[in-house]
Amino acid sequence: MGIGVLYLISFVMNMFGSGGIGFIHSNGLFGIGFSLFVVAIAALNLVLDFDFIEQGSEQGAPKYMEWFGAFALMVTLIWLYLEMLRLLSKLRSR
């Protein structure tokens, strides 16, 4: 949640002409380290998503809960993909 809020603040600051939060978008060591941290958090969220799906199936969750698990898994995979692309972009431009 904190990473999403940080990205939202950076987006709003960029909309109003401010430089945004530069250290998270920089190609320096801190920017690459931040990207590695976010990729690790996204990968750990995959573990949480799979655990949620497994627990739901073991406990006999209602049928509509399958959609929650699938949606959470899809969002996490897209987030992980975008963060890995951002990290590769930072590493390439360095």
Helices within 1-94 (DSSP H only)? 2-15, 22-25, 29-58, 65-93
Mean pLDDT score of the chain, rounded to an integer?
A: 90
Residue pointed to by tokens 């739901």: 56
**For the stretch 38-61, what's the b/e string if a residue is b when 16 or more beta carbons lie within 10 angstroms of its beta carbon?**
bbeebeebeeebeebbeeeeeeee
Q: Tokens for 66?
A: 């399958």
Q: For 42-56, what is the mean pLDDT?
A: 94
Give the model confidence (pLDDT) of 7-43 as tens digits.
Answer: 888 888 888 877 667 778 888 898 899 999 999 999 9
Domain residue ranges in the chain = 23-93
User: Cβ(76)–Cβ(49) under 8 Å?
Assistant: yes
pTM of the model: 0.82
